[in-house]
A and B are shown apart, each in its own frame.
Chain A
C-alpha cells in the first residue's frame, strides 16, 4: 500500500513511534499537515479530486468532532476517496482524559451521507478494512482500538460477523469492534461457547442484516448489545430499530453503552470500561445472570 503511487497519507502532527515506517516509504506522499485538522481534510479532498486516495490520521476525537463540517461538505457530499483514520476510539486513550476520547464519534460519522465506518475487532481486520476502503473508494472512517489477534479460522468480512454460533443459543450477544474480541475471550474462558451466540459489529451502515444474526435473535429471544460508545447514535439504537422494522422483538433486551464520566473521574481504558459495565468481569456477570434465568 505504501508503494502505491496513487495513495497519500496525511497526519495531523501525530505518529511518533508508529508512522516512521510509512513516512520513510511514502516520502513525498506522506504529509505532516501540522496541528490543523480542518485544513488536513480540505487538502485531502483537493488531492482526492485530482485522483489520489487519501488517508488522514489523527486521534479519533480530533479528526471527527473538530472536522465534522469538512468531512461532511468536502468529502461526503463530493463522494471522495478520503479515509479518516482515528486512533483511540472509545476510551482508547484512557488516562489522557475526556478530550482524547471518542464515545460519540460513530453517532456523528455514521449519520453522514455515503460514509462507511469501520470498527475492526481484531488486528487482522485492520488490514482488510484498509483494503476494502481503498477498493470501495468511498468516504470512510476507521476507528482504531486496542488490538487482539483473531482466532484462526474465523472469517469476518461482513458488517456483522458471527464469532460464535450454536444451533440452540440461550442468548445472543453483539459487540462493537474490539469489545467483540474481549467478549469472545470472556465467553471462551467461562466455557459458554455452546450457549451464547456472539456477533461482532465492525462496519456501518449494516449492509444486509446478517441472516445468521436474525436467526440467532429469533432462536434465543434474548439480545445483549455492548458498545464503547454512548447510547445515542450507537449500534444498539440502530439494531433495535432494524429489528422492530423486521417485526422481531426479543423477550429480553439490554444495551450497555459507554457511561460517559460518572463523578467526572478518570482512569485507564479498563477503568472506564468498568464504570460502564463493559469490562470482562462485568460482561461475565451479566452473561451468568442471564444464563441462570
Chain B
C-alpha cells in the first residue's frame, strides 16, 4: 500500500466509523479514532493468516468492525446493524461470530493474558509440529487498561516464557475513563518499567501507519526471546478537531451538526 493509499484508508475508515456511530447515536467515538491507525498498521497491513489479533480495548470495537469490513469479513449490510436490536455487532464485540474476532472482550485487562496463551501455544506447537514460531499474537490495549493488575501478571509471564512472538500494541492517548492518566494512577504504560521488566519496547507516532509498520517489521526480525511492546503515541479523537484530547468524546454521541462538521474535516485532512 502506498503512502497516499494509506492516508486515504485512514480517511475512509474514519468516515465509516463516524457514519456508524452517528447512525447508532453511540458513544466511544474518540476511542476508536484513537486506535484506528494503529489497527491499520497492525491488523490490515501486517497481520498474516497464521497470526492472531486480539482487541483488548473492546470499547473500540467499531474500529475493528470497519477494519474487518475493509478486509471483507463483515459485510456493509452487517455493518449497518451496529448497535441495533438483534445485532452481532454490539458496542463491545460478541463472541463466536467472526474469525477476525477470536476473543470478544470489553472488560479490560483480558487481552494480554489471552495473547500470552496464544503466543505460548505457538511456541509449544513449534516444538512438536510445523513451526509456528513465525506466527505472531498481536494484542491492542489502551494505556488506561494497563491500570489492570492482569497486565502485570501477564507481562511477567510473557518475559519468563520468552514470548518474542507476542507484540503488544498500546494506544497511548493519555486519557482514561474519568481523568487523564496522570491524574488517575499516573503513567502505567511507561516505557521504562516495561523495558525493566524485560520487554523490547519501541515508540511511534500512533497516527503514522508507516512508522508503526516499520517498528513491527523490526520486531519481527528480533528473535531475542523478549516480548515486544509498541507504544503508539496517539491523540484521543484524532482526525476530528473538536474531539481531540477531550474526555467527553469517550462518551458523547454526535448530533447532526457535529457529525456534519466532522465529515467535512475528514475530507479536508484525508481526502475521504
Contacts and interface: CB of A to CB of B under 8 A. Distances in A.
B124 A38 contact: no
A91 B125 CA distance: 40
A46 B104 CA distance: 12
Contacts of A70: 110, 113, 150
Given A70-B110, A70-B113, A77-B104, A50 B125 contact: yes
B105 to A, nearest CB: 7
Interface string B106-133: 0101101111111111101101100000
Contacts of A44: 117
B153 interface: yes
A46 B95 contact: no
B174 to A, nearest CB: 26
Interface in A53-98: 69-70, 73-74, 77-79
Contacts of A173: none
A235 B137 CA distance: 42
Given A43-B114, A45-B103, A74-B103, A33 B157 contact: yes
B127 A78 contact: no
A69 B117 contact: no
A45 B114 contact: yes
B156 interface: yes
A42 B104 contact: no
A46 B96 contact: no
Given A5-B128, A77-B95, A42 B121 contact: no
Interface string A1-42: 000010010000000000000000000110101101011111
A165 interface: no
Contacts of B153: 34, 36, 38-39
Contact of B114 (A31, A49, A52): A49
A34 B121 contact: no
B108 to A, nearest CB: 10
B149 interface: yes
B124 to A, nearest CB: 6
A74 B128 CA distance: 26
B121 A73 contact: no
B157 A74 contact: no
Interface in A156-197: none
A43 B117 contact: yes
Contacts of A41: 113
Contacts of A48: 117
A37 to B, nearest CB: 8
A26 B96 CA distance: 31
A40 B116 CA distance: 10
Measured as residues with beta carbon below 8 angstroms from the partner, the interface class of chain A is: 20 to 34
Given A39-B150, A77-B95, A47 B121 contact: yes
B154 interface: yes
A39 B150 CA distance: 6
A74 B115 contact: no
B102 interface: yes
B139 to A, nearest CB: 10
Contacts of B119: 46
Contacts of B115: 46
A47 B104 contact: no
A73 B124 contact: no
B199 to A, nearest CB: 16
Given A38-B150, A42-B150, A78-B104, A49 B156 contact: no
A79 B97 CA distance: 12
Nearest to A77: B95
Nearest to A8: B124
A46 B156 contact: no
Contacts of B121: 46-47, 49-52
A44 B116 CA distance: 9
Nearest to B161: A31
A39 B154 contact: yes
Contacts of A79: 95-96
B107 A47 contact: no
Most buried by A among B52, B121, B127, B128: B121
Listed from nearest, the 7 A-B pairs whose CB atoms lie closest are A46-B117, A42-B113, A50-B121, A39-B153, A36-B153, A43-B117, A46-B118
Given A39-B116, A77-B95, 11 more contacts: A5-B128, A31-B120, A38-B113, A43-B157, A46-B114, A46-B119, A47-B120, A50-B121, A52-B121, A73-B107, A77-B104
Interface of B: 52, 95-96, 102-105, 107, 109-110, 112-122, 124-125, 127-128, 137, 149-150, 153-154, 156-157
14 contacts: A36-B153, A38-B109, A38-B150, A42-B150, A43-B117, A47-B124, A49-B52, A49-B121, A69-B107, A73-B104, A74-B113, A78-B96, A78-B103, A79-B95
